[in-house]
């Protein structure tokens, strides 16, 4: 008997998968790779992460499915709307359950496992919402939620006797203590408490994202850039991203593609790398240079030369620029 467990990297999904595995079911983990995940490389769905180590230790093979494109398409107009910020939690879960259902059919599995706990989140984990998610995803009766199963209707896995209901749990509400106690009991020591959602629940990030959705194309490329550096609006559709530290500067270089401009200080002067996207006019370039001049170490000099090149090209141009004032910068900041 096989089942597909949705794995997020958080404790609840680990517990859910482990509980069912311990009942003798052949559990296969599914990790949906999404564009706004908060989990970093150490925790997340990536190779070598905590989730990977958990999967290896428990003998649960992991499948990874990149749902970025479907997610971004849904994000423009989620059927069930947004939560407190731009988080479309109900539609997000529906998408993941659809993906899990598809994998279930492909691998000949018989049911799905999810780590949701009734009442843990105000928006997406209420009993009625869980039913609605299952109905929309076409998975009614197929999703076993081991942590709250005794409070929910019987699923096919219980009805068929594949898992014993009395070996499942009745956790509910926002307290994390029952999960922590269970983790200790099961010997799961490497876990973190949940951070409260993805980047779509972060007001600072969602301000940037809504600006992007109004003026530019919502695609994986543009979204990846939102996570890096300081952002400035240049003209109607242009954006300048200025690195805050060496890691940002490297990431900016990696994310640049044809059509982008790379701005840098002259080689002897310390300063950031910046990426201009949608920079079209000479006026826009001038403005980008003035933003850059603000962040370069120009000593007592009132001006500094900024150089730029098209991404992928080594042909450089330069312009002497005066730094913008803090007020001017603040007006452009996204």
Beta pairing partners, 48: none
Q: Which residues contact 161 (CB under 8 A, 6 or more apart)?
A: none
3-class secondary-structure state, position 333: strand
Q: Is the Cβ of residue 155 or residue 201 nearer to ligand SF4 in the bound state?
A: 201
The enclosing H or E element of 239 equals: strand 238-242
Least CB distance to ligand SF4 at residue 149 (A): 20
CA distance 143 to 155: 7
Out of 5, 17, 92, 288, the only residue in the binding site for ligand SF4 (CB under 6 A) is 92
Question: Binding of ligand SF4 at residue 198 (CB under 6 A)?
Answer: yes
Question: Binding of ligand SF4 at residue 88 (CB under 6 A)?
Answer: yes
Least CB distance to ligand SF4 at residue 334 (A): 21
Q: Is the Cβ of residue 124 or residue 222 nearer to ligand SF4 in the bound state?
A: 124
CA distance 46 to 38: 12
Q: Is the Cβ of residue 125 or residue 222 nearer to ligand SF4 in the bound state?
A: 125
Beta pairing partners, 143: 112
Q: Is the Cβ of residue 44 or residue 197 nearer to ligand SF4 in the bound state?
A: 197
Out of 89, 168, 274, 324, the only residue in the binding site for ligand SF4 (CB under 6 A) is 89
Angle in degrees, 0-180, between the axes of helices 68-76 and 89-107, rounded to the nearest 10: 150
| Percentages (nearest 5) of helix, strand, coil residues in the chain | 40, 15, 45
Q: Is 251 exposed, middle or buried (0-12, 13-18, 19+ CB in 10 A)?
A: buried
Q: Which residues contact 128 (CB under 8 A, 6 or more apart)?
A: none
Stretch that binds ligand SF4, among 152-160, 196-204, 233-241, 316-324 (CB under 6 A): 196-204
Out of 200, 226, 262, 279, the only residue in the binding site for ligand SF4 (CB under 6 A) is 200
Question: Binding of ligand SF4 at residue 9 (CB under 6 A)?
Answer: no
Bridge pairing between strands 261-264 and 304-310: antiparallel
Q: Is the Cβ of residue 89 or residue 285 nearer to ligand SF4 in the bound state?
A: 89
The answer to whether 193 and 294 are in contact (CB under 8 A) is no
Q: Is the Cβ of residue 36 or residue 308 nearer to ligand SF4 in the bound state?
A: 36
Least CB distance to ligand SF4 at residue 34 (A): 6
Question: Binding of ligand SF4 at residue 201 (CB under 6 A)?
Answer: yes
The enclosing H or E element of 95 equals: helix 89-107
Stretch 249-288: interaction string toward ligand SF4, x if CB under 6 A: ----------------------------------------
Out of 197, 229, 271, 278, the only residue in the binding site for ligand SF4 (CB under 6 A) is 197
Stretch 119-158: interaction string toward ligand SF4, x if CB under 6 A: -----x----------------------------------
Least CB distance to ligand SF4 at residue 96 (A): 8
Least CB distance to ligand SF4 at residue 121 (A): 8
Q: Comparing C-alpha atoms, which of 47, 50, 89, 48 is closest to residue 64?
A: 47
CA distances from residue 38 to 75, 130, 196, 201 in whole angstroms, order as listed: 17, 23, 9, 10
Residue 155 DSSP one-character state = P
CA distance 146 to 165: 9
Q: Is the Cβ of residue 83 or residue 238 nearer to ligand SF4 in the bound state?
A: 83
Question: Binding of ligand SF4 at residue 87 (CB under 6 A)?
Answer: yes
Least CB distance to ligand SF4 at residue 90 (A): 8
Residues within the interface to ligand SF4 (CB under 6 A): 87-89, 92-93, 124, 197-198, 200-201
């Amino acid at each position: 008997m096989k089942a597909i467990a949705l794995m997020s990297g958080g404790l609840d999904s680990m517990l859910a998968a482990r509980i069912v595995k311990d009942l003798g079911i052949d559990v296969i983990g599914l990790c949906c790779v999404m564009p706004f995940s908060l989990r970093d490389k150490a925790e997340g769905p990536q190779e070598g992460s905590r989730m990977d180590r958990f999967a290896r230790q428990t003998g649960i093979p992991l499948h990874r499915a990149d749902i970025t494109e479907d997610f971004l398409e849904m994000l423009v107009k989620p059927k069930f709307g947004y939560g407190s910020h731009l988080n479309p939690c109900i539609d997000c879960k529906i998408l993941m359950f659809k993906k899990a259902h598809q994998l279930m059919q492909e691998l000949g599995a018989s049911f799905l496992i999810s780590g949701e706990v009734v009442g843990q989140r105000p928006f997406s984990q209420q009993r009625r919402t869980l039913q609605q998610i299952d109905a929309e995803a076409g998975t009614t009766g197929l999703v076993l939620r081991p942590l709250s199963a005794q409070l929910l209707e019987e699923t096919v896995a219980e009805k068929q006797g594949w898992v014993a209901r009395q070996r499942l749990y009745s956790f509910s509400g926002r307290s994390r203590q029952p999960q922590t106690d269970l983790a200790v009991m099961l010997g799961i020591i490497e876990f973190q408490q949940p951070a409260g959602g993805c980047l779509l629940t972060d007001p600072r990030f969602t301000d940037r994202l809504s600006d992007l959705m109004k003026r530019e194309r919502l695609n994986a490329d543009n979204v990846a850039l939102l996570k890096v550096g300081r952002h400035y609006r240049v003209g109607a559709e242009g954006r300048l991203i200025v690195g805050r530290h060496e890691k940002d500067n490297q990431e900016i270089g990696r994310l640049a593609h044809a059509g982008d401009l790379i701005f840098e200080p002259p080689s002897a002067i310390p300063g950031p790398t910046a990426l201009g996207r949608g920079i079209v006019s000479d006026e826009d370039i001038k403005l980008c240079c003035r933003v850059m001049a603000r962040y370069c170490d120009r000593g007592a000099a009132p001006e500094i030369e900024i150089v730029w090149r098209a991404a992928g090209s080594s042909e450089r141009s330069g312009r002497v620029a005066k730094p913008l004032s803090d007020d001017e910068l603040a007006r452009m900041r996204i």
